[in-house]
Structure 1
C-alpha cells in the first residue's frame, strides 16, 4: 500500500455504494456532496462516510468551494486493481487454452 494512503484500495472498492460513487465521479469531472447524496437512498452523513473511505484509499479528492464540498475521482490507485485482474485474466486464459487442448487431444 502506498505510504500516502490510509486505506487499502481493495477494501475501499469492496462496497457496492462506494463502487457506485466511483462510477458517478468517473462520469463527471467533479460533483458536490449534495448531488452525490441525491443518488442514494441514504443520508448525507452516510454518503460522507463512504467518500471518506474512498479518500483514505486515495481514490477521491475533495475541495471546498464556498460552503460546498466538491469531489473528483483519482483513478490512479485503480491501476493496482487492474494489474491484479490482468494477472488472473492471463492465468485463466492460459488454463482454458490448456483445457481446450486436452479436450481436443481426447477427441482424436
Structure 2
C-alpha cells in the first residue's frame, strides 16, 4: 500500500485541527479512496482513516498503523496502550505517549 502525502491540498482541515486541538503537527495522506489524517500532540498521536465508499479493511489498518509506528521512537509509546476504534467507514488509532519523565515501574 502506498501512502501519498496530500497535506497541501487540505490546508483548511490542517489549520482547523491545529487551531482547535492540542495537535502541533497534522499531515494528510491518501491510500486509494482511503484518507489518512496523522496528528502529533504533546501527549498522544492519532491516526484517522476514512473511506466514504466502504469500510476500512483490517489489512489496511494494520499496514497504516505499522507505517506510522515505524516513524515514532519506540520509547515514546507502549504497544499495549494503543487503542483502535472501528466504525463504518472510519477508524481511529490512538497512540498515547509514555511520560518520559516518570520513573519506570519494575
TM-score by length of 1: 0.28
If asked which structure has higher relative contact order (CA below 8 Å, sep 6+), I would say 1
TM norm structure 2 = 0.29
